[in-house]
Amino acid sequence: MNTLGFLMNLRYFYNLGKIMIIRYCLAFILMPLASIALNSRNSRPNVILIMADDMGYECLSCYGSTSYSTPNIDKLASKGVRFNHCYSQPLCTPSRVKIMTGKYNFRNYEGFGYLNPNEKTFGNLFKERNYATCIAGKWQLNGISGKDRKDGWDDHNRLKHFGFDEYCLWQFTHKVNEGDGRRKERYKNPYIERNGEVVDNRSGDYGPDLFCDFITDFIDQKRNEPFFIYYPMVLVHDPFVPTPGNLQWNNNHMQSKSDPRYFASMVSYTDKIVGKIIDKLRECHLEDNTLIIFTGDNGTNRRVYSKLGNQVIRGGKGTLTDAGTHVPLIASWTSVGVKAEVSDELITFADFYSTFSQLIGLDETNDGSSFLPIIKGDKYKSRDNIVIHYDPMWGSQNKNRGRFIRNQRFKLYQDNRFYDLIKDPLEENALDVSTLEAKIVEVYEQMKLRQKNLPKWN
């Protein structure tokens, strides 16, 4: 090799070395930045809360239901945590007020179909952290229910006041039957209010599909910023009617009736919609950084009988029984949370507000406790028991008003009826405390003490 060739090779290797050094330096600098970016994203994850209407825990196959198949929700459970002991209020409005504000009903529940605008909701929490927010599905909290409408029932800014930028809702400022000859339904040909406009569908559209489309469009639009979506579904509330794809879908007679034989297809359609939302997240590469929570607002309709293994469960909506208050709760956050976990911790609807507050770095708890540590696999301080206070202030439902304290096994009502829910899940035989062993009497006395410390109520 001549001198010129040697010098050219030397220059080549010299330049190559500089390039490698620069690459290593860039990697050294950028890797921590990438880690910081990932941690920053995880500190502001997207959140989607899906709440089925009138769906008890016995309706999901991941809880052992043999009446229905819910593969998408089951898969969600396999990627996160399935809670065995989540308890709602027995009826829709009491549950909605509680889940949104994190307060026991005796603090801020004023009547059926109403949420006082002075209350702060979890929507407001997310707005404090500059999240994009939306709500779709069933509202029913403006004060339109009952004979006398509440002041501000027609306030179209109520949703923004509660922290939601966009909305697509049934029963916002209109009731089902307002005497104008047009029934404002939630299912086929629904009557929906969307961002200030009335969408009066008469071409065979299906309400749950419209709500789902609104949500997936919102995900598309907000994919580059953190978002919170609250989806209080209209499914699976009665009327029990055919869903799209059912042979009776175009049978107008069946669409005007309510037949429990269509309940199973409504559960299946709920699962289908959950699958569509997850597919959209995956399409937008957002699934890993999105906390998805699925629950139900109260027990199943009492006209519905479901099988949980070999046991037949009659829906208990509107009652304080286990079938009226025991609801599913599944939480999945694939990039951070634990996988295929089953939790026996006690959860109530007061806990969602606290959970979201902790998730986004705020410090507001109200009456609840955050279950975020359970989702993440961190240490969690277990409760001894929970309290459910129920006064629906709604016609015939008032006969079931009451209060109870319970743990995973035992339940004490305010009239001192005491049940073992493992041996007596239908609450048919109250226990005689004088015959019980000492450790069970200790549980009873502990519950009695908590009951005594609650606000007086007749």
Number of CB atoms found within 10 A of residue 302's CB: 15
Evaluate the CA torsion angle 376, 297, 411, 427 in order and state its sign: negative
Q: Provide the pLDDT for residue 318.
A: 97
For the domain made up of 44-376, give the CATH fold.
Alkaline Phosphatase, subunit A (3.40.720)
Q: What is the pLDDT of residue 193?
A: 96
How many Cα atoms within 13 Å fall on the side-chain side of residue 338? 17
* Angle, in degrees to the nearest 10, between helices 263-283 and 71-78: 50
More confident residue, 147 or 20: 147
Q: For residue 9, is pLDDT > 60?
A: no
**130-180 tens-digit pLDDT:** 999 999 999 999 999 877 789 889 999 999 999 999 999 999 999 888 778
Question: Does residue 135 sit in helix, strand or coil?
Answer: strand
| Domain(s) of CATH 3.40.720.10: residues in the chain | 44-376
- At 133, which helix (H) or strand (E)? strand 132-138
Q: What is the 3-state secondary structure (H, E, C) of 83-94?
A: EEEEECCCCHHH
Q: What is the pLDDT of residue 29?
A: 46
Are β-strands 341-348 and 418-420 bridged in parallel, bridged antiparallel, or unpaired?
unpaired
Number of Cβ within a 10 Å radius of residue 335? 13
Asked if pLDDT for residue 260 goes beyond 70, the answer is yes
Q: What is the mean pLDDT of residues 115-144?
A: 97
DSSP bridge partners of 420: 410
Tens-place pLDDT, residues 178-226? 778 788 999 999 999 999 999 888 889 999 999 999 999 999 999 999 9
The confidence score (pLDDT) of residue 304 equals 98
- Residue-wise pLDDT tens digits, 431-441: 999 999 999 99
Distance CA 176, CA 190 (A): 10
Q: Return the pLDDT at 3.
A: 56
Measured CA to CA, the distance from residue 175 to residue 442 in angstroms comes to 49
Residue 39 confidence (pLDDT): 43
Q: Which class for 218: exposed (0-12), middle (13-18), buried (19 or more C-beta within 10 A)?
A: buried
DSSP readout, 3-39? HHHHHHHHHHHHHHHHHHHHHHHHHHHHHHHHHHHHH
In terms of Cα–Cα distance, which of 89, 141, 138, 95 is closest to 115? Answer: 141
Please tell me the distance from the alpha carbon of residue 373 to that of residue 371, in angstroms, as a whole number: 5
Residue 82 has, within 13 A of its CA and on its CB side, a CA count of 17
Nearest-angstrom CA–CA distance, 39 and 373: 17
Q: What is the pLDDT of residue 34?
A: 41
User: Which pLDDT value is given to residue 298?
Assistant: 98
Quote the pLDDT of residue 457. Answer: 83
Would the pLDDT of 45 be above 90? Answer: yes
State the angle between helix axes of 351-359 and 92-101 in degrees (0 to 180), rounded to the nearest 10.
Answer: 30
pLDDT of residue 28 exceeding 60: no
Among the ranges given (11-15, 271-275, 358-362), the one the predictor scored with the smallest mean pLDDT:
11-15
Contact in structure between 328 and 59 (CB atoms under 8 Å):
yes
| 3-state percent helix, strand, coil for the chain, nearest multiple of 5 | 35, 20, 45
Q: Is 78 exposed, middle or buried (0-12, 13-18, 19+ CB in 10 A)?
A: middle
pLDDT at 50: 98
Distance CA 286, CA 421 (A): 41
pLDDT digits (tens, 9 = 90+) for 324-372: 999 999 999 999 989 999 999 999 999 999 999 999 999 888 999 999 9
Residue 252 confidence (pLDDT): 85
Structure tokens at 417: 């009826």
pLDDT of residue 7: 47
pLDDT at residue 8, rounded to an integer: 54
Q: Encode pLDDT of 382-434 as tens digits.
A: 999 999 999 999 988 999 999 999 999 999 999 999 999 999 998 999 999 99
Q: What is the mean pLDDT of the chain?
A: 91
Distance between CA 55 and CA 269 in Å, rounded? 13
- pLDDT on residue 203: 86
